[in-house]
Amino acid sequence: MLKSVAFYPEYIKDKAKIEENLLQIKAGGIDAVRFGEFAWSVTEPSEGRFDFDIFDTAFSLLEKHGLKAVLCTPTACPPAWLCRKYPGILPVNEAGNAIGYGARQHRCYNSPEMRRHTGRAVSALAERYGKRPALLAWQIDNELAAEHKYCYCDTCLEKFRAFLRDKYETVGELNRRWFASFWAQDYSSFDEIPFPRVVEAYLPMRPHPSLTFEYLRFSSESAADFSDFQAGLIRRHSSAPVTTNQDDFRYGDNADWRRIYRDLDFAAFDIYTDEPYELGFYCDLARCVKNRGFWLMEFGSRSRILTKALELAEEKGCEGFGLFAYNPFPAGQEEGQFGLVDGFGRPGENYALFRDYGGGKARGDVARCAPKPRAALIYDFTSSWIYNATEYHSWETGWPRIFSRLLYKDRLLGAAYRALFEAGREVDVIGGEGGFVSPLIMPMHIAYDPGLAARLLDFMKSGGTVLTTDDLFRKNGDNMFLTELPPFFTELGLKGFPERGTEAAFGDGKIVFLDKEADAEEWKRVIL
């Protein structure tokens, strides 16, 4: 397993100091450094004027000392000159105000101006470094759809309406499928469709749930398309593999990983946790997204469970494990006193742990152990977005409002997956297309999919066990509750939607329905 560390030559600037750091990095058993995601103001200090001196220095030194580079595109941080000169690149928040310069992710994925300047900056990077011997891989942007998840600008509204037109074809069909006549929500044209904004009245009200749901789908597609755009630019000049580093779902899973990584070479993610089961989940999801090895781009350099995390990640198929960050930042954004080394360059405790980790346990001891019993867990972004759109508590503000919308993730990861992990299961985190293993776990899978329903019946007929919750298949793909019982339930011999505790045999298999709010102990009881 390759070991890497986030290291920022543009922050250090001095060539002798950069070389001193790289020598210490190499002595620490580290194979590669990752940099560039926040460097746009350095590499393009004014429009069309590039200054790659610091990156040229970094690549020369990396090659001199036998180290590799994961080079990132800088689009997470558009520079001040760009924001001032082209304010149309800035995203707009729900209140209608532009999200200004001063932090990061201040860019609209759909802005034509943002695409134009991204094209110039990314193409220049790819052309200059795409064939350098030290280049190991590319990372697009940084944590797409993390701090900035949704944009409410005029460009996005126009594209959102086109997105709805592609799905529903006519506004009459949209009105019918959304039950829009209630509360006079009918539209006479797609041009009347607004963004789903909270209605701030004396008693604030949420927007139409189907409108919100479709906007979540649109926002995910916008982030993925921005990633695809950059990947295409890079591949014109470089054959190195391309990925991006998705954030965990602690603040929302609005970006569908399967769509994000569809046209990229491998999955990669960032996570900061001291909970092994949480790390295990994202490893299993990343592995199954591309059905191949994955990278963990960022893990805490001061983590108390670093050795355990390295072993667990490698056991689950991790091919590259990265720490954030090597040097601490004494000032500026993400300022702090500790990295893998301290502010004086003295190695911390984890420097030796990282250096000495050779993967023996993961590749040797684990390989000789008896294989773990397997299970499959369906993570369904559609169901998650339905709960997100439906459980939007508009009377709350700030963080509580955000967290109240993560019911799906909390139950699936914190209850069902945790039970599987603690029960010693090897888990495939999959979509609903197939690859089922018994037991097949599908908590809070509220979205009805006739194709999935047929596959589940075939799976049970052949002896498979399905463990699910009592909200199974209650809504359709437009976020409307079903008014007719799906044939899936009548095939099981049920006359209505199941209640918690219901069990049904089918063929040589069976299905068991738990309460959708079942905790880890309840899941563990049925799994064991």
Catalytic annotation, residues: 143, 298
Record the tokens describing residue 124, joined without a space. 């220049």
Sequential DSSP letters for 453-511: HHHHHHHHHTT-EEEEETTTT-B-TTS-B-SS--HHHHHTT-SS---TT-EEEETTEEE
SS3 136: strand
Q: How far is CA 121 from CA 20, 33, 225, 263, in A?
A: 29, 21, 17, 21
Nearest by Cα to 140 from 38, 230, 241: 230
Could you give phi then psi for residue 113, rounded to 5 degrees? -65, -40
For residues 128 and 527, give the distance between their C-alpha atoms in angstroms, rounded to a whole number. 53
- Residue 471's CB: how many other CB atoms inside 10 A? 22
Which residues neighbour 106 within 8 Å (Cβ) at sequence distance 6 or greater? Answer: 77, 78, 83, 90, 91, 99, 100, 148
Task: Measure CA of the first residue to CA of the last residue in the chain; give whole Å.
Answer: 33
For residues 231 and 289, give the distance between their C-alpha atoms in angstroms, rounded to a whole number. 18
Which residues is 298 bridged to in the sheet? Answer: 270
Q: Which residue has the tokens 């592609």?
A: 166
Which residues is 117 bridged to in the sheet? Answer: none
For residues 60 and 6, give the distance between their C-alpha atoms in angstroms, rounded to a whole number. 18
